[in-house]
Amino acid sequence: MIEISDLYKVYPDRRANSSPVEALRGIDLTVKRGEIFGVVGQSGAGKSTLIRCVNLLERPTSGSILVDGQDLAKLSDGGLRAARHGIGMIFQHFNLLASRTVQQNVEFGLEITGVPRAARRTRAAEILDLVGLADRASAFPSQLSGGQKQRVGIARALAGNPKVLLSDEATSSLDPETTDSILELVKDLNVQLGLTVLLITHEMEVVKRICHSAALLEAGRIVESGNIIDLLNTAGSKISHALFPLGESMGAQGNTVIEIMYAGQLAEEPIVAKLSREFGIDVNILGAAVEVVGGTRVGRMRLELPGNADRNSAPITRLRDSGLFVEVLSAGVLCAGSLSAEVREAGA
């Protein structure tokens, strides 16, 4: 649905003597139809620039972006205006017009595109109902809570029936409960309308709650990208570690520390008890986190096994054979993830 290839964005120097800012440096990213895709990264990583390039609020320096097969950069001004209808956008600070009512804010985009008055009314009423604000149509933005304002933002973004919704930190200025309700709404709209959602956020909680896939942006480059469950099963994945922070506890010198990831059915199994019983070892739990991600129960656990990795190759193999993803950590250092690598590490 959205295909980004080799995208660069360089901002020219703002002041004399300052050098140009390379905000994006060769981004490749594919967002599938109907998926909720989250781009995470620290402040200044280039997230806003990336999402603003998708609807050409920002013009790419080079590279291409196809939205539903269409290269927006190649369109005339008129063509671009039309194509933007297929892309809704919501913002952290809502960007509502203070002098207009909720209804008029939602109608605004439709007005610009020349939708007749009666049709605008009908559509605004319909979409306000969908976001749960039917009874606030004649209120002004200043009379609404933050969550309600964002609902208006969403209604406005969806008024023209777009296929794609872009979200730039839409929940970042909301409290946790309101964030939850807005994320639920986005999830519902994704399912009900078959909406493709590209969102950017610095909050891992957002990714955990609603994203099917995610990418990590660092200094203008994508350093990790994929389906969430696949990322959780990738050794050394930063997204996976950020989704399931297990703290700093790394066990005693000379012992083996492993992290295991489990999803679905496996999350119901008494892994630690089985391991202790079968191999007669004292397994120490250093950290654990279980969450529901994309409707699947997934978890991460850090365990300490007595003795070095050589001594623990049998229990580790058993865990892997039972379908668990096992990463072996050694004295605070992540190994390559394979048993042979970890044995080499132990011997070094």
Ligand X SMILES: Nc1ncnc2c1ncn2[C@@H]1O[C@H](COP(=O)(O)OP(=O)(O)O)[C@@H](O)[C@H]1O
Q: How far is the CB of 7 from ligand X (least distance, A)?
A: 12
Alpha carbon of residue 203 to chain centroid: 8
How many residues interact with ligand X (rule CB under 6 A)? 12
Residue of minimal Cβ distance to Mg ion: 48
Which residues contact Mg ion by CB under 5 A?
Answer: 47-48
Instruction: Tell whether residue 14 is a contact of ligand X (CB under 6 A).
Output: yes
Q: Scan for tokens 């905000």, then name that residue.
A: 23
Q: Which stretch binds ligand X (CB under 6 A): 46-54, 245-253, 258-266, 309-317?
A: 46-54
* Residue 170 engages ligand X in binding (rule: CB under 6 A): no
186, two tokens: 């986005």
Give phi and psi for 123, each to the nearest 5.
Answer: -65, -45
Whole-angstrom distance, CA of residue 195 vs CA of residue 34: 5
Binding status of residue 124 toward ligand X by CB under 6 A: no
Regarding 18 and contact with ligand X (CB under 6 A), the answer is no
Chain-centre distance for alpha carbon 276: 37
Chain centroid, CA 10 distance in Å: 24
Q: Supply angle C-alpha 70, 72, 78, rounded to 5.
A: 110
Under rule CB under 6 A, residue 279 binds ligand X:
no
CB of 279 to ligand X, least distance (A): 47
Tell whether residue 23 is a contact of ligand X (CB under 6 A).
yes
11 binds ligand X (CB under 6 A): yes
Name the token pair of 159.
């008024």
From candidates 17, 18, 19, 43, binder to ligand X by CB under 6 A: 43
Burial class (CB in 10 A: 0-12, 13-18, 19+), 196: buried
Residue from 8, 10, 21, 294 touching ligand X (CB under 6 A): that is: 21
In the complex with Mg ion, which residue's Cβ is closer, 89 or 137?
89
